A and B are shown apart, each in its own frame.
Chain A
Amino acid sequence: MQAYQENLKKLEAADTQVLGVSMDSTFSNAAFADKIGINFPLLSDWGGDVTKEYGIYNPQYKAARRVTFLIDKEGKIVQEQTDSEAIDPTAVVASCERRKLKS
């Protein structure tokens, strides 16, 4: 999440909103956002309904898998990254910048 925060300006410049989602409570998300200085929405999927709907609920950890979905302005998924590759936002930044150039 810290890496996304560091790239937030670039993403915003490329018309992209970052939304973090986890199955933590809003309270622990508030403390987490405060601790590492996140100023984009950190959403609480308490109970995991959205995580399950997206098919990435991991019963072994009772938590979501680390996945980033890049969704375009029409609501279509244009990129998916999982696990360690999802931590580095470079590819997402690059494709947002490309989309910005095209439009």
Chain B
Amino acid sequence: MRKSPAVLLLSILALGIQQAGNGLWAQGTKKEAPPTPKFKVGDTAPDFTLLDQNRKPVKLSDYRGKKNVAVAFIVFAFTGG
């Protein structure tokens, strides 16, 4: 009989940990559909002007009539890919 409060406490604690664990697990597996490009093959790519690593502006349409352009969006600098 003397043990029961401790046992009760332990089981409450265990339950709590399990629930916290479930919460984390759910967060890890939560699936959000990745964003899909608004423009498809055949569409005109919208123009943009952005600064390069030397803070020099680069405009997409400056290459029109001269070169193809491979625009590679990357997730973060300092990552693979």
Instruction: Report A's interface with B, CB cutoff 8 A.
Output: 1-4, 11, 14-24, 26, 28-33, 35, 38, 41-45, 50-51, 53-61, 63-80, 82-84, 86-87, 89, 92, 96, 99
Contacts and interface: CB of A to CB of B under 8 A. Distances in A.
A22 B77 contact: yes
A43 B73 CA distance: 9
B65 A73 contact: yes
B80 interface: yes
Contact of A16 (B35, B65, B70, B77): B70
Q: Chain B interface mostly helix, strand, loop or mixed? A: loop
Given A58-B34, A72-B68, A83-B34, 17 more contacts: A2-B80, A11-B70, A17-B67, A19-B58, A19-B60, A19-B70, A26-B51, A32-B53, A44-B52, A53-B38, A54-B38, A56-B73, A65-B34, A67-B72, A70-B71, A76-B43, A96-B68
